[in-house]
Amino acid sequence: MGRLTGRTALITGGARGQGRAIAAKFASEGADIVILDVCGPIEGLDYDMASKADLDETRALIERADRRCLAEVVDVRDEAAMVAVAERTVNEFGRIDIAVANAGIHTYSPLVEMSAQAWQVVIDVNLTGVFHTIKAVAPSMIAARSGSIILTASVQGVEGGYGNISYTASKHGVVGLMRQAALELGPDNVRVNTLLPGPVFAPITTNPTLQRQLAGESGRDLTDEQIEHQTVNGPRNWHLLRGRPILPASAIADAAIWLASDESQHVTGITLPVDAGHLVMPGRNPDPIVDDELGTFDYEGNALTANAGQ
């Protein structure tokens, strides 16, 4: 306990889900907290963003832990707003020791069907928003010659995902941004690392609209309760570790506290998967296409049908 006593953490996307879990964990370890969230709709998304009530609920949670909390409605796409809130944090709390760039959104669409607008809004929030966060907090950390910046990416920051072209591209970008920021800020003792969550029980992944899209035709006749059951239990096929359904948001907070604390003081530039072993598993094509025109082969590659090899 007390691993973050006397420190201040700024967390984007902090009103609910992973952001709330991280804020609560950091507060339980002694940190004062600044939480930011958009608290309003984002164009092109068909699921609800966090509300002001969610933000206030998280602030109350932090204050019940007897920690100071500043809760602000801020869109990470607004660079000036991010700079302003970072400056306010330094003025009111004296410093920014930890920053968690956690704000993110998701849309589901195959590459050839995704509109330019749908592409851009995900890139703007998930990648440019992270850039704005780093840029806003870095000056005070450089001046203090100390800091830990934690970026929330995804296992899709290092692999693909069906129907997730914009999300996957943005999260790969976050990993690249982390590596470059770690390189540039390391000489000033500012550490930059990335978390790679697998499926987490949070509104970005559990909203019924997205889950019906993922289920495709098979999800059309499912009730919301059946969709939720499928969402919670489906990731068992994704995980290597035994008996793991969808991961709780606290699993990400448990990893974030290590990256925020002195226990990782010699660690920078890493990607830390929190995926129940998913990335260890060998890949396979779950739905291979058999082309009758090409025919079939035996184990040595010899043609078994007349068309094979043509």
Nearest to 21 by CA among 7, 41, 42, 35: 35
Strand order in the sheet with 147-152: 69-73, 32-37, 8-12, 98-101, 147-152, 190-197, 271-274
Does residue 133 contact residue 82 with C-beta atoms inside 8 Å? yes
- Measure the CA dihedral 199/262/185/7, to 10°: 90
pTM of the model: 0.90
Does residue 269 contact residue 179 with C-beta atoms inside 8 Å? yes
Residues 6+ apart with CB under 8 A from 261: 3, 4, 29
Does residue 139 contact residue 116 with C-beta atoms inside 8 Å? no
* DSSP per-residue letters across 58-117: HHHHHHHTT--EEEEE--TT-HHHHHHHHHHHHHHHS---EEEE-------B-GGG--HH
Residues assigned a catalytic role: 167
- pLDDT per position as a tens digit, 288-297: 666 555 555 5
Place of tokens 């907290």: 33
Angle made by CA atoms 232, 106, 214, in degrees to the nearest 5: 50
**Spans of the chain below 70 pLDDT:** 208-220, 285-310
Nearest to 177 by CA among 140, 141, 123: 123
What's the pLDDT at 309?
44
Nearest to 129 by CA among 155, 97, 148, 104: 104
What's the pLDDT at 116?
95
Give the amino acid at 159.
E
- pLDDT per position as a tens digit, 112-154: 999 999 999 999 999 999 999 999 999 999 999 999 999 999 9
Does residue 309 contact residue 291 with C-beta atoms inside 8 Å? no
Tokens representing residue 270 in the block: 């890493």
What's the pLDDT at 304?
55
Place of tokens 């470059």: 180
Nearest to 193 by CA among 260, 144, 123: 260
Structural domains of the chain, with CATH: 8-202+240-280 (3.40.50.720)
Nearest to 74 by CA among 153, 3, 144, 10: 10
Nearest to 233 by CA among 224, 241, 243: 243
